[in-house]
Amino acid sequence: MRSTTCSTTVATFYDNEVSATVDSLTSILEPLIIVFMGACIGCIVVSLYLPMFDYVKLLQQPGPSLTVVNGMPASEGCLH
């Protein structure tokens, strides 16, 4: 009878210890996971917007002038 009571007491103690450890680990990991997810989302947003900024810069630059000879751009045909 005494061993059953002792086993129950030890089981209750370790059950409380495990619960406390899991709660503390969860409280530590939650902010880290939120920061990690924010960094991932930030990387995705930056990777989507960088090409758009490059295209805007490309559109703002003056392009080369195009000379048309016989209805065809001079760069594609021979100048006769």
**pLDDT tens for the chain, residues 1 to 80:** 677 788 899 999 999 999 999 999 999 999 999 999 999 999 999 999 998 888 888 888 776 665 666 666 655 555 55
Closest CA to 12 of 20, 2, 24: 20
Using CA atoms, how far apart are residues 39 and 31, in angstroms rounded to an integer? Answer: 12
- Is this model's pTM higher than 0.75 or not? no
Residues 47 and 40: beta-carbon distance below 8 Å: no
- Exposure of 76 in the CB half-sphere (CA atoms within 13 A): 8
